[in-house]
A and B are shown apart, each in its own frame.
Chain A
Amino acid sequence: MTNIIRLDGLSKHFGSVIGVDDVSLSVRKGEFLTLLGPSGCGKSTLLRMIGGFEEPTAGQIWLDGEDVTDLPPNRRAVNMLFQDYALFPHMSVGKNVGYGLKVAGTPKREVETRVLEVLDLVGLADKAGAAPHQLSGGQQQRVALARAIVRQPKVLLLDEPLSALDANLREAMQVELRHLHQKVGLTFIMVTHDQTEALTMSDRVIVMRAGRIVQDGAPQSLYDLPGSPYIADFIGTTNLFASRIENGRIACHGQPLTIDPQSILPGARTFGFRPEKARLLRGDANGSNLLRGKVAEVFYHGSVARIIVDLGAGQVLVDLQITDAAAGLPQLGDAVAVEIAAHKIMGFAAEDAA
């Protein structure tokens, strides 16, 4: 597939503050790409530069083979779904959706048909005459979506599209956005700080930190093979600890663990394992790669319980699958052992200063 967007060494400085720092990136046609990172990491600025709302300090933006770096938003074939929807309060839903066509001088008849088509696509064909404030949050979002895709942009930009919705609606919209993406076949670039959202919805996730890309990959590779302790902890949860490798063994808060030398580089300084990849055993269990400690806290989540185990010199998290309710949960102060298979331990070079 061809690249629809190419960013070349894109930077944005706000005075002395660096918002985006030398980012290069290609987006394939039809891809659902997510920019993921904490607030202030530059992901929104990057998106806004693609949309034309921020001027890059340096670098180029190529859209479908054309350099659009200096073009204003109204001359770029990309459209944006705004975080606050930005529906025009003085226009009906139908007028909102048709706005982009109207300013382009599309004949009235054609505007009407296309507005109805796209409203139908988002399931709001009967709301064309309503005012935006008469709609629910979820409906407003769909209107904004319809308005953004009615011009058939080359790329749809989505700026934290789900952050204003409540939890239930958010999950429904995740599914709906995915379906819509498959149906219309547009390229989607979404910004979010919600890792679950990023993992569930996208084909590819780009993790950003302090204006730079720190990892770029499919959701699964990001989760299973995090490139740094930062990502290991940002995507999902990871028990991280510092140690040195001595004779193929490391120390987790003072207790020895064996590692798999094939999956870990010899220079690794930080190690970790995910709570759901460890097993919680009774305190008198025997075996290899056990961390012994006491239950410090229990968080019950229904199908799973997350247990904080106090190892004496530190704490680790471990998830307990609850398959049999009668088995009961461990009690505070119970002596337990945490078993972690050697090949499930991840190793990283020393955490960078950033």
Chain B
Amino acid sequence: MTLPLPLRVRKALVLSPPLIWVVLFMFVPYTILFVFSFWQQQYPTFTPALQLGNYQTLISDPQYLRTLLRTIKIAALVSLFSLLLAYPYAYFLVHKVRRPALRQTLYMAVVAPLWVSYLLRAYTWKTILGTEGILNSFLISTGILTEPSPIFLYNQTSMVVTLTYVFIPFMVMPIYAALEKIPRNLLEASADLGMGRTATFLKVTLPLSLTGVVAGFTMTFCLAFGDFIAAYLVGGPDGMMISNVIATQFGASLNWPLGSALALVMLVIVLAIISVSDRFERLGKGAFA
């Protein structure tokens, strides 16, 4: 290239701080994580090695696979319930609320909780669902229960409820955006061509909003999949997630190489989901552009 020097210098000035940062604090650490996953633990330290022992452990010891599957299951349920709640809400906002100011307010009402501490929002569920919690005491005071029930907390249901609660805004946002982008005249054209409201929804609205659904599903799934706070608060032993196991490897168990291998498995799953979702989105853009 025959760039004049000033332009090249200017380009470098803009580019170098983020580039250096990204290489130093993202590329290098991820690479180290990868390398570390082949190291060997020799209590209480770890030594460099190139062996697949950590990965073999992950496969042979059923507790890891079980936790992984449980995490996937919880994340999938969280995404599903978020979708079931978020889609009607977004549809309601876009198609049923006519006043723009009200629509904006109701939209903000769903997004606003994101600004309130995640930790505290998860924590409140603990205070609601616990044996001495608000739900139990409420049910006893109304006479539905005679003594506190432990069934509300420390299981997978409480995990799903809490995580759905925490991550639902991430489902509403892309679906709302996708629904809002659908030109109204498409719906009018569909009605004009003799389709009923249900048919119009199924054949026009739903397919066109699918990119938003996929984006929301990806987001909530990845967030729930990687969560490690809710499990400590409301999960109990049966609600432990893969992140909790990783944290244990870096904490009490002091087996960083195994933890790295687990983190890498997690990373691969997340990347796979993102790339599938990306492909879908590109496909969608091509089809509907």
Contact = CB atoms under 8 A, between A and B. Distances in A.
Taking the complex as a whole, does A directly touch B, i.e. does some CB pair lie under 8 Å apart?
A: yes
Contacts of B4: 70-72
Given A70-B2, A70-B4, 5 more contacts: A55-B2, A55-B3, A72-B4, A72-B6, A72-B7
Contacts of B6: 72
Contacts of A72: 4, 6-7
B199 to A, nearest CB: 40
Contacts of B2: 55, 70
Interface string A35-70: 000000000000000000001000000000000001
B33 to A, nearest CB: 37
B283 to A, nearest CB: 26
Contacts of B3: 55
**Do most interface residues of chain B lie in helix, strand or loop, or is the interface mixed?**
loop
A146 to B, nearest CB: 28
Nearest to A74: B6
Interface residues of B, number: 6
A71 B4 CA distance: 7
Interface in B1-18: 1-4, 6-7
A340 to B, nearest CB: 48
Contacts of B7: 72
Chain A contact patch, size range: under 10
A72 B6 CA distance: 9
List 5 tightest A-B contacts by C-beta distance, closest first: A70-B4, A72-B7, A72-B4, A72-B6, A55-B2
Interface in A68-114: 70-72
Nearest to B6: A72
A253 to B, nearest CB: 43
Contacts of B1: 55
A70 to B, nearest CB: 4
Nearest to A70: B4
A175 B3 CA distance: 40
9 contacts: A55-B1, A55-B2, A55-B3, A70-B2, A70-B4, A71-B4, A72-B4, A72-B6, A72-B7
Interface string A109-144: 000000000000000000000000000000000000
B2 to A, nearest CB: 7
Nearest to B3: A55
Nearest to B5: A70
A55 B6 CA distance: 14
Nearest to B2: A55
Which of B2, B3, B7 has the largest count of A CB atoms less than 10 A from its CB? B2
B98 to A, nearest CB: 27
Interface in B164-194: none
A36 to B, nearest CB: 29
A55 B8 CA distance: 13
Nearest to A55: B2
Contacts of A70: 2, 4
Interface in A299-340: none
Nearest to B1: A55
Nearest to B4: A70
B123 to A, nearest CB: 44
Interface string B108-123: 0000000000000000
A71 B2 CA distance: 11
A72 B3 CA distance: 10
Nearest to A56: B2
A70 B8 CA distance: 12
A281 B7 CA distance: 66
A72 B1 CA distance: 15
Interface string B1-39: 111101100000000000000000000000000000000
A63 to B, nearest CB: 15
Contacts of A71: 4
A72 B4 CA distance: 8
A126 B1 CA distance: 48
